[in-house]
Structure 1
Amino acid sequence: MPVDATPDPYTNPLVFGQRMQVLRTRRGMSRPVLGGLLGRSPSWVKQVESGTIRTPSLPMILRIAEVLRVRDLADLTGDQTMPVDLFIGPGHHLLPAVQAAINSYPLTSDRQAPSAAHLRLRLDRAWTARHEASNHREVLGSLLPDLIRDAQLTVRQAETAADRRAAQAILSEVYSLAQFFVAYQPDSALLWRVAERGMVAAQESEDLHAIGVAAWLTVQAHRDAGPAHFDAADAVNRATLEFLQPALPNASEKVRAVAGALQFEAGYTAARRGTSGVAWGWWEKAQATAQGLPKSYYHPITSFSHAVMSAHAVTVAVELHAGGEAVRQATRADADTIQSLPRRSRHRIEEARALQLDGQPEAALTALAKAHECAPETIAYNGYARRIVLEETESKSPARRQRASELAVKLGTLAA
């Protein structure tokens, strides 16, 4: 190999620091940016890469792997005996309580389960609270433990087959709510456990809406797990749309809306693959579904609506790395018509990605500031937002550096 060639991190005997440097370089990430994401200095990163200091502890190795988007830990450590799939993010202080409720295995109970109607009312209120709250994980974390336990109990105490199916539909939706809380937190096994339980409960319920919502979230989990899981995402998406299709002509608005949400997810995955024609083709199908719904309709779980389709167009263009088109779509979208605060914040983040792709970093920071004003927890858990902010802390423009640094402190990626 020529002396000036970049070494292959998969070729032994590269040590940890060398692998980290190669993977960081391939991500196009500077030492200050990596250090900022890790809560360490650029000099610390340099010392690790040069071998001046010893290999970090396992928790720090896992954090490095997450920041560098390493899916298999062996790619970073070189230890082929410990392949670990990574799908982690920051943790919330209420995560242990939600974990305990999900992981519990109660077989008996001396208390009476709440009625399905009572659970339905609580669940509807929880969805509303989730969309109206800027600190939505805080809200969900406080509601979920009791909701999970009560929904499980209602299923166990159901006296008829019909009652059990109705309870399973509610339990499935409770797991869907839990998936919004668990996503991007440091327990990937819990995320998959919640997704699978939601799918099983939905199938047991035989409820079209519950099945569609559970599939919608499962598709996202597969896609977020990386390119190796895109086929699985497509398989779940395709099977669910085929299952729903015969019922759609006479289906309720919420069933048609979840079908539209699935159509967009198919386009999202295609955009991640880089297949532009397929991606926009699915977006157009989802747009047609949205046009068939009342203009004021807003799905309470997926946010599927007329307003969100404009936001979805920005996401498709961004994932296709079409900066100019993404900015044009963002200009057409009206973020204020998106009823959900977390979803509105996410749209602002997608807008920032579009602006950065289009070479407008100042405007990108403005969009991220709006995202933070709308829902701070959304942007704090979004890797794209953190990356843009930290990259701009290295800007040659003093004013932009200051703006980015102030936002980075708010996100917790840089110390005050």
Structure 2
Amino acid sequence: MSTEATPDPYADPLCFGQRMQILRERRGMSRTVLSGLLGMSPSWVKRIENGQLQPPGIDMVLRIAEALRVGNLADLTGRPDMRVDLFVGPGHPRLGAVRAAVDALPLGADREAPSIAHLRARLAKAWKARHEAPNHRDVVGGLLPDLIRDATLAVQQAQDPVAWREAQAVTSEVYSLAQFFIAYQPDASLLWRVAERGMLTAQQSGDPHTIGVSAWLLAQAHRDTGPAHFDAADAVTMDALRYLAPLLPDASHEVLAVAGALTFEAGYTAARRGEHGTAWRHWDAARAMAERLPADYYHPVSSFSRAVMGAHAVTIAVELHAGPESVRQATRADATAIPSRPRRARHHVEEARGYRLDGQRDAALATLERAYAVAPETIKYNGYARSIVLEGTESKSAPRRRRATELAGRIGLLAA
């Protein structure tokens, strides 16, 4: 093994600081960047890593895990009794069936593919279930396998170029739906296969809206992989926006909405980098696009709309680690205006992150309880929610500890 290679944190027993340094360097993150995300000084990070300071408490450990996107606390602490997955949720019971449909090679099918109209109707039903069902993953996971197989079959049996492109567009949207289902589950390679197939079929369809949606999801896949992939996320986002730009003066609501969603994604990534001005500039541009949409319009994939811009403002403030600003934006945002259950629950998770940043831990737990009431599966698979709940189970406040432990039990965080 090269002496310049990054050490394996499991090769020998390592102290907390050494593990923290190894995981930080694997992310390609400097001490300055990490310290900014933690609200501490670079010298504090250096002293922790060098063992000059004692390991921090559970609150800071969770903040470090969040900043480094550590999937499991044991990777950071070295303690096998803390093997708690944070950013990867439990595998859904329907994950295996969805994986099998994605991995299948349907050659020589002995049946006729459904019509494009029939596939679109089923897809619309699936999107409706995703937005309205509290157990949206369960419902969507049950519909996806047949949708994937039938859309693939429609592409194979297309009789002319127009029908082939239409089938590719439907297939791309099926993969977009599948990416929502697979996200935050323990199969990163499956997520990437789905994201890349969604982009490929979108390009083959030649449909601007379909291409925009697939680019939006592919950019998220890059960004959520970690700081080393932020440039790739930006490249996808900006390429898609340049492609859509000539269409925007006379764009349909769908195309304008997906351009708005991509513009916000550029701000989201900038906020992850800590770039305050750039993040809010993109948010302002996205808000201007939202104002061009009808007041009651709601994009069925990205949720982009006037209603969601308040929630997006909370996300920007939270990603910039601005606690008071996060709370201020949370008080301004109207969660009831968001019709999608999982998107509304996700907004509550972002609110909870803001309250946590502001030191309002009881408010954070109360907000997560609202998220659970709206869409239990959203909070169950959200790493930020899981870390806040886990932190609460270690609280010195007995009422807060009881409240967090009860919620942890409901989302399966403390299951054996």
TM over 0.5: yes
Question: How far apart, CA to CA, are the structure 2 residues paired with 1:132 and 1:28?
Answer: 41
Which amino acid is 1:307 matched to?
A
Which residue does the alignment assign to 1:143? Answer: 143
1:253 to 1:31, Cα distance in 2 relative to 1, 3 A: closer
| 1:322-337 correspondence to structure 2 within 5 Å | 322-337=322-337
Out of 10, 14, 22, the residue aligned to residue 18 of structure 1 is: 14
Question: How far apart, CA to CA, are the structure 2 residues paired with 1:310 and 1:231?
Answer: 26
Classify the secondary structure of the residue corresponding to 2:406.
helix
Residues 335 and 347 in structure 2, CA contact (< 8 A), matched pair in contact too: yes
Question: How far apart, CA to CA, are the structure 1 residues paired with 2:205 and 2:372?
Answer: 38
Question: How far apart, CA to CA, are the structure 2 residues paired with 1:402 and 1:305?
Answer: 38
Residues 9 and 19 in structure 2, CA contact (< 8 A), matched pair in contact too: no
Question: How far apart, CA to CA, are the structure 2 residues paired with 1:174 and 1:353?
Answer: 31
Classify the secondary structure of the residue corresponding to 1:190.
helix
- More off after superposition, 285-294 vs 88-97: 88-97
| 1:249-288 correspondence to structure 2 within 5 Å | 249-288=249-288
Matched, 1:203 2:203: yes
Question: How far apart, CA to CA, are the structure 2 residues paired with 1:13 and 1:358?
Answer: 33
Classify the secondary structure of the residue corresponding to 1:306.
coil
Instruction: Report how far residue 187 of structure 1 moved.
Output: 1.0
Residues 16 and 49 in structure 1, CA contact (< 8 A), matched pair in contact too: no
Aligned alpha-carbon RMSD (Å)? 2.6
Classify the secondary structure of the residue corresponding to 2:372.
helix
Which residue does the alignment assign to 1:313? Answer: 313
Residues 113 and 153 in structure 1, CA contact (< 8 A), matched pair in contact too: yes
Residues 342 and 375 in structure 1, CA contact (< 8 A), matched pair in contact too: yes
Residues 260 and 286 in structure 2, CA contact (< 8 A), matched pair in contact too: yes
1:263 to 1:13, Cα distance in 2 relative to 1, 3 A: closer
Instruction: Report how far residue 90 of structure 1 moved.
Output: 1.9
Residues 33 and 390 in structure 1, CA contact (< 8 A), matched pair in contact too: no
Question: How far apart, CA to CA, are the structure 2 residues paired with 1:28 and 1:282?
Answer: 35
Matched, 1:370 2:370: yes
**Structure 2 gap ranges (5+):** 21-47, 50-54, 66-72
Question: How far apart, CA to CA, are the structure 2 residues paired with 1:32 and 1:312?
Answer: 26
| 1:286-365 correspondence to structure 2 within 5 Å | 286-365=286-365
Query: Which of the pair has the greater relative contact order for Cα pairs under 8 Å at 6+ separation?
Result: 2
Question: How far apart, CA to CA, are the structure 1 residues paired with 2:11 and 2:200?
Answer: 44
Residues 195 and 217 in structure 2, CA contact (< 8 A), matched pair in contact too: yes
Matched, 1:131 2:131: yes
Matched, 1:30 2:86: no
Residues 168 and 201 in structure 1, CA contact (< 8 A), matched pair in contact too: yes
Classify the secondary structure of the residue corresponding to 1:307.
coil
Question: How far apart, CA to CA, are the structure 2 residues paired with 1:351 and 1:49?
Answer: 31
| 1:39-58 correspondence to structure 2 within 5 Å | 49=78
Instruction: Report how far residue 32 of structure 1 moved.
Output: 13
Matched, 1:110 2:110: yes
Which residue does the alignment assign to 1:177? Answer: 177
Instruction: Report how far residue 15 of structure 1 moved.
Output: 4.2
Residues 59 and 391 in structure 2, CA contact (< 8 A), matched pair in contact too: no
Classify the secondary structure of the residue corresponding to 2:110.
coil
Instruction: Report how far residue 223 of structure 1 moved.
Output: 0.3
Residues 58 and 394 in structure 2, CA contact (< 8 A), matched pair in contact too: no
- Deviation per residue, 1:111-152 (Å, 9 max, x gap): 011000110111011101110011111011100000000000
Question: How far apart, CA to CA, are the structure 2 residues paired with 1:16 and 1:211?
Answer: 47
- Deviation per residue, 1:291-311 (Å, 9 max, x gap): 000011000111101111100
- Deviation per residue, 1:243-302 (Å, 9 max, x gap): 000011112101100000000000000000000000000000000000000011000111
Q: Percent identity?
A: 61
Which amino acid is 1:218 matched to?
L
Question: How far apart, CA to CA, are the structure 2 residues paired with 1:187 and 1:20?
Answer: 27
Classify the secondary structure of the residue corresponding to 1:402.
helix
- More off after superposition, 22-31 vs 215-224: 22-31
Which amino acid is 1:199 matched to?
M
Classify the secondary structure of the residue corresponding to 2:293.
coil
Which amino acid is 1:30 matched to?
I
1:13 to 1:186, Cα distance in 2 relative to 1, 3 A: closer
Question: How far apart, CA to CA, are the structure 2 residues paired with 1:167 and 1:371?
Answer: 36
Classify the secondary structure of the residue corresponding to 1:18.
coil
Question: How far apart, CA to CA, are the structure 1 residues paired with 2:365 and 2:331?
Answer: 16
Which residue does the alignment assign to 2:92? Answer: 92
Question: How far apart, CA to CA, are the structure 2 residues paired with 1:236 and 1:186?
Answer: 24
Question: How far apart, CA to CA, are the structure 1 residues paired with 2:162 and 2:58?
Answer: 58
The aligned length equals 369
Which residue does the alignment assign to 2:27? Answer: none
Residues 234 and 269 in structure 2, CA contact (< 8 A), matched pair in contact too: yes
Question: How far apart, CA to CA, are the structure 2 residues paired with 1:20 and 1:147?
Answer: 47
1:365 to 1:246, Cα distance in 2 relative to 1, 3 A: same
Which residue does the alignment assign to 2:30? Answer: none
Question: How far apart, CA to CA, are the structure 2 residues paired with 1:246 and 1:29?
Answer: 52
Classify the secondary structure of the residue corresponding to 1:295.
coil
Instruction: Report how far residue 110 of structure 1 moved.
Output: 1.2
Instruction: Report how far residue 30 of structure 1 moved.
Output: 3.3
Instruction: Report how far residue 229 of structure 1 moved.
Output: 0.3
